[in-house]
Amino acid sequence: MKLSFTKPIVVFVLLLSFTSLARAGTHEFEIVNVVFDRSIFMPGEVGKAYITINNTGDSNEYLYVQYSYDGKVYKLDNLVYVSKGTSKQFVIFFIAPSTSGMFNVTFKIYNIFGSSEFNKVVIVNPKSYEFELRLDKESWTIAKGLEADFYLTIYNLGNSRDKYAIKVENWEDYKIEKNLISLYSLKEETIQIKFFTDNTSAGEYPIKIEVCSLNTFECKEKEITLKILKPEVEQTQVNLSEEESVNPLGNLSIEMLVKNVGFGEKDYSIEIETDLNHSISPTTFTLSPNEEKIIQLNFTEIPAGVHLVNYTIYANEIPVREGSIKINALAPGFTIYAIFMPTPSLILGIVAIIIIVALIVYFWRKRSFLEEEEELS
């Protein structure tokens, strides 16, 4: 039988070199942390353990690594090298116990100069799938034409990786950030769901969001309520006269009725564009749903002429009504003249009437002339 002494000789030489190097410095090293790549292992499952070592001595270290639990010891074949005065994290494959339960695992690093141990609890359970859903809100009120954003969070409460499919029912125009997501055990992810309201009538709509596990085909639902209001411009009623008359240099007061016919309280403000002396009372006010208010638009010393007053009404800083008021400040006689003020169409009509009357007179006189000649003959 032929024996090979190569490996023992190499190890012996390495140990001799460690010894010769070590005599010149101190050896202080320890395991400071161990983290598994999952929170729960299935029986006999192979995972990963991330081990962090601090070498606080002034010597470089070559270290053996092992872990043990329930009387079983698992040793790694390769040495781990850690430079003096540094920290190092490395990963090893970890074989979970073959039975369910909680196990105390002891990780150990060592060489001929010392050792360090670190205890970590591992949880072993058969494969399970469980998840939970949460929404950032269950209802939202929004004006037609705007977008409603909801955020759905999926929690994987099982001990296994799972995939989930998301779908929406009872609504057509929407966008899901992700239709399919994958989550490791005890992880979570939040996705955005956008609902578009351009082609929807005002009203209250129940919407169902369904999430299904692709491993167990178990489905869970969340229901939200979307309340669609009329567009902001349709939530305010304004009543006022579009034309007023006043004597030149006279004063005029116009009443504007503003009513909130929408949902929720609104802050209003009014702006006017005109060269006339004017005041608004009040310029800003707040109305609850179905509440109304009379606004006084006051104009003083209105000069002669026809004036156009432009106004804009804002609700919650959004322009909801725009219009104009015509103010006639003319003398009574001039007012009558203004009513019959010549226009191209009026002039053409008068000319046509004159021509028709002239033709009628012409033919009538011609007929009379012919009748007189017949009598004379």
Q: Hey, where are the domains in the chain? A: 18-124, 131-229, 233-338
Closest CA to 31 of 91, 112, 88, 105: 88
The hierarchical CATH code for the domain 233-338 is 2.60.40.10
Please tell me the predicted confidence (pLDDT) of residue 205.
Answer: 93
| 3-state SS, residue 272 | strand
Strands 219-229 and 139-143 come out as parallel
Under a CB-based contact definition with an 8 Å cutoff, are residues 337 and 304 in contact?
Answer: no
- The 8-class DSSP code of residue 234 comes to G
Q: What is the CA radius of gyration of the chain?
A: 46
The residues facing 50 across adjacent strands are 35, 91
Cis peptide before 332 (omega within 30 of 0): no
Sheet of strand 46-55: strand arrangement: 29-36, 46-55, 86-95
CA 25 remoteness from chain centre: 61
Task: Specify the CATH superfamily of domain 131-229.
Answer: Immunoglobulins (2.60.40.10)
DSSP structure class, residue 199: T
Could you tell me the pTM of the whole model? 0.45
pLDDT of residue 245: 87
pLDDT at 318: 83
203: left (phi over 0), alpha (psi -120 to 50) or beta: left
Topology of the domain comprising 18-124: Immunoglobulin-like (2.60.40)
Q: Torsions phi, psi of 206, nearest 5?
A: -85, 130
Give the Cα separation of 342 and 338 in Å (integer). 9
Per residue of the chain (377 residues), give pLDDT as tens. Answer: 333 434 454 445 455 555 554 455 788 999 999 999 988 888 898 999 999 999 999 999 999 999 999 999 999 988 999 999 999 999 999 999 999 888 999 999 999 999 999 999 998 888 778 899 999 999 888 878 888 999 999 999 887 889 999 999 999 899 999 999 999 988 999 999 999 988 888 788 999 999 999 998 999 999 999 988 777 667 788 888 888 888 888 889 898 999 988 777 889 999 989 989 999 989 899 999 889 999 999 999 889 889 999 999 998 888 888 889 999 987 665 444 445 555 666 677 788 888 888 888 777 777 776 666 666 66
Beta-carbon contacts of residue 285 (< 8 Å; ≥ 6 apart): 258, 267, 268, 293, 295
Q: Is the dihedral of CA 122, 126, 127, 130 positive or negative?
A: negative
DSSP class of 344: H
Identical topology for domains 18-124 and 131-229: yes
